[in-house]
Amino acid sequence: MEPCNVRIVLVEPSHPGNIGAAARALKNMELSELVLVNPRQFPHPEASARASGADDVLGAARVVPSLGAALEGCGYVAATTSRDREQYFRVSDVRAAAERLVSEARRAPAAVVFGAERSGLSNEDLEKAHTLVRIPASPLYASLNLAMAVQLVAYELYRARGAAAPASVPLAAPLASTGELERLYAHLAEVLEEIDFRDRTQSGTHLMARLRRLLQRAEPDQNEVNILRGILTAVQNRRRSAGGGRG
C-alpha cells in the first residue's frame, strides 16, 4: 500500500478515550498522522487504553494551539459535519471525498478535520475547508461518535488507496477439475441408483442436476472430491459386504 499523506485533525476533543480510539482506527487503516487542537485531556490513561496496539500513532500525535497550526503545509482540506444547514459550502459524500483526498495527497499533504464531540466545528473552522464531508447516517440519529467517524473516514481512505478484502475460498488443494467433478457426479448417480433413491420433491429440475448445482456452488477442491468419492465407495462396499441389498 502506498503511503498516504492525509493527516487527521481533531479539534478540541473532550474525551481522551476518543483520541485513543482514533489512533487505533488510523493504524488499522495505515494512516499515521494525528493532530490534536487543544485537547481537553491529553495524554491520558484512557487514551492509551483505547489506543491498544496503536501506541506509536498515539505517541506521535502532535498537540497544537489552533486549527491554522494543524493545517500548516496542507493543500486540500476536508471538514466533517453532521449538520444539514451549512450553506454555501461544497458538500461531498465521504466515499467521493476519500478518493479526492487520496488523489490530492499525492501532491501535497491533505487533511480531514473533525470537531468536538458535542459542538462539532465552528463556522470559522469549516471555512478553512475546501469541502465538507458528510457520512450517510440515519436522519433520526445522525450523530456518530467522534472516533467512529474517524474510523469510517480512515476506512474509506484505505479503500480509496486500493484496499479491498479479496473475495475467495482459501483451499488447501487446487479446485477440483471438471473431469474430477464429472467422475464424482457419475459415481454419485451410480450410488443413488444402487440404493434406489428417488427424488420426492415436486421440483421440475432433475435430481442429478440439482445435486450438481449444489456441489458446483460449493466449489470443492480436489481433496474434498476425494473425500466424497471415498464416502460413495464406502456406501457401495457396505452394501456389497451386506450381500448386495435388495437387488
Residues lying near its own copies in the complex (CB under 8 A) are found at 1, 21, 24-25, 27-30, 50, 52-54, 85-96, 134-138, 140-145, 147-148, 151-152, 155, 158-159, 163-172, 219, 224
Bridge-based pairing state of the strands 91-93 and 131-134:
parallel
Q: Which is nearer to its own copies, 71 or 158 (CB)?
A: 158
Q: Shortest distance, CB of residue 170 to its own copies, whole angstroms? A: 5
Distance between CA atoms of residues 105 and 86, nearest Å: 26
Q: Which is nearer to its own copies, 182 or 219 (CB)?
A: 219
Q: Shortest distance, CB of residue 238 to its own copies, whole angstroms? A: 27
Residue 128 near residue 67, CB atoms below 8 Å: yes
Q: Which is nearer to its own copies, 70 or 181 (CB)?
A: 181
Q: Which is nearer to its own copies, 29 or 110 (CB)?
A: 29
Cell 467522534 found at: 146
Helix or strand or coil: residue 239?
helix
Q: Shortest distance, CB of residue 196 to its own copies, whole angstroms? A: 32
Q: Shortest distance, CB of residue 89 to its own copies, whole angstroms? A: 7
Q: Shortest distance, CB of residue 134 to its own copies, whole angstroms? A: 3
Q: Which is nearer to its own copies, 70 or 81 (CB)?
A: 81
End-to-end Cα spacing for the chain: 64
| Pick from 23, 70, 12: nearest CA to 46 | 23
Q: How does 144-177 read in b/e, with b if 16+ C-beta sit within 10 Å? A: bebbebbbbbbbbbbbbbeeeeeeeeeeeeeebe
Residue 6 near residue 31, CB atoms below 8 Å: yes
